[in-house]
């Protein structure tokens, strides 16, 4: 008999006094963890199949279920812990790369949690956002370096195309294919209602969503899936994806089993074929090459669409951003290593890249030092979890942020990190019809609107507390931040003082 070295991570605990054998849990679990034992007239569970998505817990009518972390433990030590031993056993069994989803879960410092926000007291009084105007609108895009006048002395309008947002937040790139039609519809409708933007990701734009074009960023990634002139024209901006925080330096892979029906048509590839995005763009090996693609996309859209270049936050990110700013791009999107994804090799996700906070601060500083900060806007992403993270990101130099995982949580995601299996019990990261219908876009869209309405109010309250009445006045305003428990070098990179200073 083969020995099973791997213990389940979670245990399904059922209170048999409360369980009424309604079998809802059995129907709801796409991983087949629950089973009705007819001969014993009772429910049972296979712990090994549970990914702790909480679907059954949330829908159990009598609250008979809970999922707990497995009590099983290896004889671990500080070097070989449960996780490293489990991963080794899995690879020794499978011979394969460890796959996972969502962002880096490792206990690296979360700098947002070590940064505190200022508040006015006696001088520079605070502002009451309910009674006084508070500007959360932002515009993204290159700003003119100089004021030009015509022969009559009138100011010439030489402003390149701008993206207007009602608040400094957008929904980050998530492709149709990696997430469901209903998830995309929820994002598109919420973006329209909130007057912000959502992002197609690299999967093309479903024909039903062309009507949300003015609230859409269309992405061009290395696989060029679904890219054609009509697609480029459809959005308010075009994003070139050079990299992604969750998997810097590698490409993407959507298995052929997910390339069905509308997804195959939208991506413009045959049904059943694997959608492989190469690690590099095969026509970009230098900033000059990038510049050519930026100008090709601008030319094809009549210089009416801002171009965003998205990169992963890596060691020399400030230098790379400086090159991008000179490439003609209008916006740089920086994605830190806690950013989510539908599928990534776990080793890459957990060990490659850097957090968004130092990346953002160093890019903003470098562009200011070089006198080119106004040439581009900066969008920060990679686990923005709350309105406080947004305020801190803006004060560290961001013009706006992208949210991905937070938006999915609003849609019902429970961070079970099994998007790569395609069996999302919450109807988000799946294309299985019985599962996708679990996400009602009417509810999904309303929950996204609720979340960002609440965040916008909180942003105004925090800005008011600082005596600041516009996002523009907060941008790069590091005096409003203090570090707590950070060393000298960390404070220097972030460009902030320590609490008490
Ligand atoms: S995978 Fe989800 S639905 Fe299935 S048993 Fe675990 S928590 Fe319940
Ligand atoms: S999207 Fe679905 S599969 Fe992915 S982490 Fe969230 S609940 Fe799990």
pTM of the shown model: 0.95
Q: Compute, in angstroms, the gap from residue 430 CA to the centroid of ligand 2.
A: 9
Structure confidence at residue 98 as a pLDDT band (50, 70, 90): very high
Whole-number pLDDT of residue 413: 98
| Each residue's pLDDT tens digit, 453-475 | 999 999 999 999 999 999 999 99
What is the radius of gyration, based on Cα positions, of the chain? Answer: 24
Give the 3-state DSSP-derived string for 113-155, with helices as H, strands as E and coil as C: HHEEECCCCCCCCCCCCCCCCCECCEEECCCCCCCCECCCCCE
Instruction: Give strand ranges (E) for 15-171.
Output: 34-37, 42-45, 65-69, 99-100, 115-117, 138-140, 163-165, 169-171
Q: How much of the chain, in percent, has pLDDT values that exceed 90?
A: 84
Token pair 């959608």: residue: 275
Q: Which helix (H) or strand (E) covers residue 10, if one does?
A: strand 10-14
State both tokens at 266: 């939208």
Q: Is residue 323 pLDDT above 80, yes or no?
A: yes
pLDDT at 313: 98
* 373 neighbors 367 (Cβ within 8 angstroms): yes
**Predicted pLDDT at 257:** 75
pLDDT tens-digit readout, 336-345: 999 999 989 9
Q: Measure the CA–CA gap between 400 and 274, rounded to whole angstroms.
A: 34
Average pLDDT of the residues in 116-123: 92
pLDDT band at 1; cut points 50, 70, 90: low
Kindly state the average pLDDT of the residues 215-229.
Answer: 94
Q: According to the model, what pLDDT value does residue 473 have?
A: 96
423 Cα nearest atom in ligand 2: 3
Whether the predicted pLDDT of 490 surpasses 90: yes
12 pLDDT tier (thresholds 50, 70, 90): very high
User: For residue 141, which phi and psi values (nearest 5 degrees)?
Assistant: 145, 170
Ligand number nearest to the C-alpha of 52:
1
How far apart, in whole angstroms, are the C-alpha atoms of residue 119 and residue 125? 9
Q: What is the mean pLDDT of residues 240-260?
A: 88
pLDDT surpasses 80 at 156:
yes
Joined together, the tokens standing for residue 187 give: 């994002």
Take atom 6 of ligand 1 and give the residue whose Cα is closest: 50
pLDDT for position 29: 98
CA distance 261 to 384: 33
What average pLDDT does this structure show over 372-392? 97
Q: Select from 417, 430, 435, 439 the residue to mutate for testing ligand 2; criterion: most ligand atoms less than 8 Å from CB.
A: 417
Average pLDDT, the chain: 95
């Amino acid at each position: 008999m083969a020995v099973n070295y791997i213990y389940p991570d979670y245990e399904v605990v059922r209170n048999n006094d409360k369980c009424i054998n309604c079998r809802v849990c059995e129907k709801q679990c796409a991983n087949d963890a629950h089973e009705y034992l007819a001969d014993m007239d009772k429910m049972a569970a296979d712990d090994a199949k549970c990914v702790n998505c909480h679907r059954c817990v949330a829908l159990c009518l009598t609250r008979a279920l809970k999922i707990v972390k497995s009590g099983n433990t290896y004889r671990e030590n500080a070097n070989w812990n449960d996780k490293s031993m489990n991963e080794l056993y899995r690879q020794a069994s499978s011979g394969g790369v460890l796959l996972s989803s969502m962002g880096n879960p490792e206990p690296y410092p979360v700098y947002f949690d070590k940064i505190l926000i200022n508040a006015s007291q006696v001088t520079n009084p605070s502002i009451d956002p309910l009674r006084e105007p508070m500007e959360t609108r932002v515009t993204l895009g290159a700003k003119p370096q100089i004021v030009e006048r015509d022969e009559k002395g009138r100011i010439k309008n030489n402003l390149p195309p701008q993206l207007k947002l009602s608040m400094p937040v957008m929904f980050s790139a998530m492709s149709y294919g990696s997430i469901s039609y209903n998830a995309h519809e929820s994002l598109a409708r919420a973006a329209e209602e909130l007057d912000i933007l959502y992002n197609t990701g690299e999967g093309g734009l479903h024909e039903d969503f062309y009507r949300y074009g003015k609230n859409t960023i269309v992405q061009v990634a290395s696989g060029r899936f679904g890219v054609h002139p009509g697609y480029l024209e459809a959005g308010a901006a075009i994003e070139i994806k050079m990299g992604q925080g969750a998997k810097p330096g590698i490409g993407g892979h959507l298995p052929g089993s997910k390339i069905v029906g509308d997804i195959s048509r939208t991506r413009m590839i045959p049904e059943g074929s694997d959608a492989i995005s190469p690690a590099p763009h095969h026509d970009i090996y230098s900033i000059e090459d990038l510049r050519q693609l930026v100008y090709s996309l601008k030319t094809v859209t009549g210089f009416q669409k801002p171009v965003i270049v998205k990169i992963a936050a890596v060691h020399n990110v400030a230098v790379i951003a400086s090159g991008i700013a000179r490439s003609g791009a209008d916006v740089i999107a920086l994605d830190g290593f806690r950013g989510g994804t539908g599928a990534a090799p776990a080793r890459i996700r957990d060990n490659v890249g850097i957090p968004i906070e130092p990346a953002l601060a160093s890019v903003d500083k470098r562009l200011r030092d070089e006198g080119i900060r106004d040439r581009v806007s900066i969008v920060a992403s990679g686990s923005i979890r709350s309105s406080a993270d947004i305020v801190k990101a803006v004060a560290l130099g961001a013009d706006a942020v992208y949210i991905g995982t937070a938006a999915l949580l609003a849609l019902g995601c429970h961070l079970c990190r099994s998007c790569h299996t395609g069996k999302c019990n919450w109807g988000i990261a799946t294309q299985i019809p019985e599962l996708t219908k679990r996400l009602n876009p009417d509810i999904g869209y309303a929950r996204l609107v609720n979340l960002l309405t609440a965040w916008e109010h909180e942003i105004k309250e925090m800005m008011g507390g600082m005596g600041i009445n516009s996002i523009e006045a907060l941008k790069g305003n590091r005096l409003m931040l203090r570090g707590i428990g950070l060393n000298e070098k960390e404070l220097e990179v972030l460009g902030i003082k320590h609490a008490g200073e």
